[in-house]
C-alpha cells in the first residue's frame, strides 16, 4: 500500500473531491483527519474511513478562521502525533450564483471568495507546517482550477484566488524543498460534485449543462468524477512523487489542449437560466 502509516489532513472532505481523496488515501493505508464546516457531515465520512479499516477523526473548522484552524491542527497532533500529508481542498463559489465579472463584482464578495479560496489554504498550511518541519517531512497538495489559467466565464475573485494558489505552490515548494517538504498543485477541470449546487440545482438542467460542457470543452468528452482527482492526489501524496515538487498537474480531461475560443459559454447559460430559457443555449 502506498500510504501505509501516513496521516493526512484533507480540508473540506465531507463532500466531493475531498471525500474521494480521503477514501482513496484510506484504501492505501492512510489515517485521516476529515474536516468540514458541518461536524455531522465530517463524521459520516470519518465513519466511512473507519469502515475501510483506518483511523479517522472528524474536525469541524472553517478554514478562514485562524483559531479554528489552529484547534484543528492541535486535535490532529493530539490524536496522531503528526501530519504527513495536507490536501488544501476546501473551496468553491457558494453564494455567488456564478456572478463575479467586472460589471457586478463587489468588494465584499471579493473579500469573501478570496478568503475562502486563497487565505484559507494559506492559514491551514501555515498552521500545519511547524508539525511537518518538526518531522522533516511533508507532502502538501493544493487544489486550483482551470479558471485560474484558462477561464471560460469571468469570475474574477475565484479565478484570481485559484491563480494565487499556483503562486503559493511554487514559492512554498522552492522554500521548503531543503526541509523535505513537497508542494504541488492539481488543476481540476469540471468535476461532478456539490460545488455545482452554487450554480445550477441537480437535475435535468445540470445534466444538460454538463453534457454541453463535456461535448464542447473537454477533449475526453466527459465530466470528471472525484476519483479522477484522487488518483493524481495519491501520486503527489506518496513516494511515487519523491522527485516532484513545485509542479502543477492538470486533471482536466485534456482541457488545456483546447484554444480559449472553443469553450462553452456558461455565462450565457446562467443568464438564460435566469430568464427560464436554458434549452436554447445548450
Ligand X SMILES: NC(=O)c1ccc[n+]([C@@H]2O[C@H](COP(=O)([O-])OP(=O)(O)OC[C@H]3O[C@@H](n4cnc5c(N)ncnc54)[C@H](O)[C@@H]3O)[C@@H](O)[C@H]2O)c1
Instruction: Give contact residues for ligand X (rule: CB under 6 A).
Output: 11-12, 14-18, 35-37, 62-64, 89-92, 116, 120, 143, 145, 188, 190-191, 193-195
Shortest distance (Å) from residue 109 CB to ligand X:
15
Kindly list the strands in the beta sheet with 138-143, ordered across the sheet, starting from the edge strand earlier in the chain: 56-60, 31-36, 7-10, 85-88, 138-143, 181-188, 248-251
Shortest distance (Å) from residue 193 CB to ligand X:
3
* Catalytic machinery residues: 158
Shortest distance (Å) from residue 5 CB to ligand X:
26
Within 10 angstroms of residue 34's Cβ, the number of other Cβ atoms is 29
Shortest distance (Å) from residue 59 CB to ligand X:
10
Cα gap 229→17, rounded to integer Å? 7
DSSP character for 238? S
Beta strands in the chain (DSSP E): 7-10, 31-36, 56-60, 85-88, 138-143, 181-188, 248-251
Between 138 and 226, CB nearer to ligand X: 226
Shortest distance (Å) from residue 184 CB to ligand X:
15
Bridge-based pairing state of the strands 181-188 and 138-143: parallel
Return all residues near 116 (Cβ < 8 A) that are at least 6 apart: 63, 64, 90, 91, 92, 94, 161
Shortest-Cβ-distance residue relative to ligand X: 16
Between 138 and 188, CB nearer to ligand X: 188
Return all residues near 272 (Cβ < 8 A) that are at least 6 apart: 278, 280, 281
Cα gap 193→206, rounded to integer Å? 11
Between 179 and 208, CB nearer to ligand X: 208
| Set of cell numbers at residue 144 | 486550483
Between 38 and 136, CB nearer to ligand X: 38
Cα gap 191→18, rounded to integer Å? 12
Amino acid at each position: 500500500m502506498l500510504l501505509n502509516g501516513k496521516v493526512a489532513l484533507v480540508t473540506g472532505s465531507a463532500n466531493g473531491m475531498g471525500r474521494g481523496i480521503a477514501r482513496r488515501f484510506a484504501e492505501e493505508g492512510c489515517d485521516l483527519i476529515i474536516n468540514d464546516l458541518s461536524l455531522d457531515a465530517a463524521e459520516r465520512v470519518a465513519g466511512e474511513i473507519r469502515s475501510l479499516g483506518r483511523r479517522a477523526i472528524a474536525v469541524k473548522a472553517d478554514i478562514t478562521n485562524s483559531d479554528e484552524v489552529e484547534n484543528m491542527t492541535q486535535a490532529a497532533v493530539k490524536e496522531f502525533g503528526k501530519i504527513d500529508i495536507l490536501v488544501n481542498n476546501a473551496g468553491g463559489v457558494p453564494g455567488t450564483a456564478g456572478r463575479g465579472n467586472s460589471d457586478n463584482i463587489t468588494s465584499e464578495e471579493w473579500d469573501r471568495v478570496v478568503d475562502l479560496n486563497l487565505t484559507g489554504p494559506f492559514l491551514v498550511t501555515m498552521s500545519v507546517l511547524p508539525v511537518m518541519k518538526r518531522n522533516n517531512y511533508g507532502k502538501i497538495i493544493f487544489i486550483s482550477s482551470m479558471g485560474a489559467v484558462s477561464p471560460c466565464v469571468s469570475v474574477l475573485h475565484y479565478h484570481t484566488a485559484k491563480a494565487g494558489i499556483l503562486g503559493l505552490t511554487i514559492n512554498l515548494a522552492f522554500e521548503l524543498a531543503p526541509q523535505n517538504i513537497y508542494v504541488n498543485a492539481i488543476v481540476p477541470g469540471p468535476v461532478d460534485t456539490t460545488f455545482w449546487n452554487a450554480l445550477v440545482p441537480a437535475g435535468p438542467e445540470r445534466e444538460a449543462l454538463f453534457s454541453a460542457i463535456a461535448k464542447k470543452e473537454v477533449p475526453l468528452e466527459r465530466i470528471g468524477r472525484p476519483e479522477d482527482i484522487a488518483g493524481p492526489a495519491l501520486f503527489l501524496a506518496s513516494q511515487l512523487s519523491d522527485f516532484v515538487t513545485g509542479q502543477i498537474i492538470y486533471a482536466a480531461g485534456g482541457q488545456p489542449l483546447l484554444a480559449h475560443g472553443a469553450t462553452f459559454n456558461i455565462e450565457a447559460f446562467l443568464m438564460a437560466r435566469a430568464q427560464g430559457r436554458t434549452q436554447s443555449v445548450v
